[in-house]
Each structure stands twice: as structure tokens, then as C-alpha cells.
């Protein structure tokens, strides 16, 4: 549908530039991209394993074909059916593909071409425009040292929370310290959270649910590096509040663990609407 947007390829090129600028300035993107997307940025070919991130059922069917003898089981040619605006057409995966039967001997080539078709389906020009914009601001030598997984970590961070690293890279203000009873309750509560709740807490305080690939020591605020901070603030009747520009959580001196856990959980569950400044 993007083809109906005027100058749509220029918009993809612009998006690539934004992505490149985020990488250069070390700002994590709170977004999800598939592994094939990162391979496209690195100009690397995709293989069958990459399809698992894009289309699990399609991946499973091709994986079955790879792992099993298909002789006299499958009746396929080097073609694929494509639907465009409700019209189904047959497309050859290679020249003369409609007349080439898929056999046990040539199935490897068929799988490779099917992977390429599925990854590129309908987005070849858009992907090329985005990648072109990306390298207009990023020196290719800067990213050539990465594989797709490493580039994903650099651009989007990790979604797994290391509690020890988090706690070791947290600062305290207003009378709080690591041994303070309220802080001990705080970390006990976070330890009880599942990973999704921890990510929501991180997003509540920092504005992003991703952790830099270097760990919590590399958290950034509006003015560069800024560690996670917990400051003593407010009355016990108040909910925690956050200052996302400074990665700071204002935490009232609650009188019990249960009270802290309840108030913190409310803040976490209402991240999008509560307590942000």
C-alpha cells in the first residue's frame, strides 16, 4: 500500500537516516524489528533459520521439507502463488520454474529461493531505500563488525533484565541507600515481578523498555549517560512518580513491604497514564 503514498521511497530513505542517527548517538529505539530486517541493514543474505522470526508456520513447512525425503510426497514446481489486490498470480522462482519439478536433489535450491521470496515479498524497493538512507549517515565500517544479533542489541537493546546489574548501577538520593529498608523492599518487590513487569517498571522510569547492550551502566537520559536513580520523596499515600529525562524514580518512604509492592505495581501497570513527568 505504501506505493500509493507520494514519494514513499523517500520516506523509507528518511527512516533509514533516522535509524542511522539513533545508532550514531547511541539512542535505543523502543521498537521491534525482525532478524531479517537487521540482516538487510547489514546487507547479509537470510537463511531458513531467519524465517522463524518472520513467519513461524512457513518456516516449519520448509524445515520439514529440508529434514525429510520428499520423493513421491510433494508435487511442487519452482513457482509460488502471489495475491495482489485480491488477484492470485503464479510467479516463477527462477527462469522456467513452472516446468521444473522440485525433487529431493534440487530441494535445497527451492528452499533458498522460497526464503528469499518470503523475506523480500513486496518490500524490495522499500528495503533498499531504507538501507540506502541508513548508510548515508553511518559509515559501513562501523557496523561491519556486527552480526544481526549484535546489531539488534546496539539498536534496540535487550529485553532481558539482569537484576544484579540493575541494582549495582543504581544511585540513591534524599537519604536512601542500598541498605535502607525501603530500598530493600523495593528490590524484593522487583525480584518478585516477572520479566514483563520489570520491563514496564523500566519503561515507567526511563521511557524505554530496552536495556543497552553494555548493561545498565550505559543507560542514557536527555543529556547523555545517566544511571537509574531512586530518590526519597512524598508521603506514603502517594504513588511513585518518574522523571524519564533523568531516569529517576521518586519513591515515597512506605511503612511496609506490602504497601510498597502494591503502590509500585499500580505504577507499573499504569505506565502509559500515571505518574510521568
Beta bridge partners of 79: 92
Q: Which of 73, 142, 217, 245 is catalytic?
A: 245
Catalytic annotation present for 46: no
Catalytic residues: 245
Amino acid at each position: 500500500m505504501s506505493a500509493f503514498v507520494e514519494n514513499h521511497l523517500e520516506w523509507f530513505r528518511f527512516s533509514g537516516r533516522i535509524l542511522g542517527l539513533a545508532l550514531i548517538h547511541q539512542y535505543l529505539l523502543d521498537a521491534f524489528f525482525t532478524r531479517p530486517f537487521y540482516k538487510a541493514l547489514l546487507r547479509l543474505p537470510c537463511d531458513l533459520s531467519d524465517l522463524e522470526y518472520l513467519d513461524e508456520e512457513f518456516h516449519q513447512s520448509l524445515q520439514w521439507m529440508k529434514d525429510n525425503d520428499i520423493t513421491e510426497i510433494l508435487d511442487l514446481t519452482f513457482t509460488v502463488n502471489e495475491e495482489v489486490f485480491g488477484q492470485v498470480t503464479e510467479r516463477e522462482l527462477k527462469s522456467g520454474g513452472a516446468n521444473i519439478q522440485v525433487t529431493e536433489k534440487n530441494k535445497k535450491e527451492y528452499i533458498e529461493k522460497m526464503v528469499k521470496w518470503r523475506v523480500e515479498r513486496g518490500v524490495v524497493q522499500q528495503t533498499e531505500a531504507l538501507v540506502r538512507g541508513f548508510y548515508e549517515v553511518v559509515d559501513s565500517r562501523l557496523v561491519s563488525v556486527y552480526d544481526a544479533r549484535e546489531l539488534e542489541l546496539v539498536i534496540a537493546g535487550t529485553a532481558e533484565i539482569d537484576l544484579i546489574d540493575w541494582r549495582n548501577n543504581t544511585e540513591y538520593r534524599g537519604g536512601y541507600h542500598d541498605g535502607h529498608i525501603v530500598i530493600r523492599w523495593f528490590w524484593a518487590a522487583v525480584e518478585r515481578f516477572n520479566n514483563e513487569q520489570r520491563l514496564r517498571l523500566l519503561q515507567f522510569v526511563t521511557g524505554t523498555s530496552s536495556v543497552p547492550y553494555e548493561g545498565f551502566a550505559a543507560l542514557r537520559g536527555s543529556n547523555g549517560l545517566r544511571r537509574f536513580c531512586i530518590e526519597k520523596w512524598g508521603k506514603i499515600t502517594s504513588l511513585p512518580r518518574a522523571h524519564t529525562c533523568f531516569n529517576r524514580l521518586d519513591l515515597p518512604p512506605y511503612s511496609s513491604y506490602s504497601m510498597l509492592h502494591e503502590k509500585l505495581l499500580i505504577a507499573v501497570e499504569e505506565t502509559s497514564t500515571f505518574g510521568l513527568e
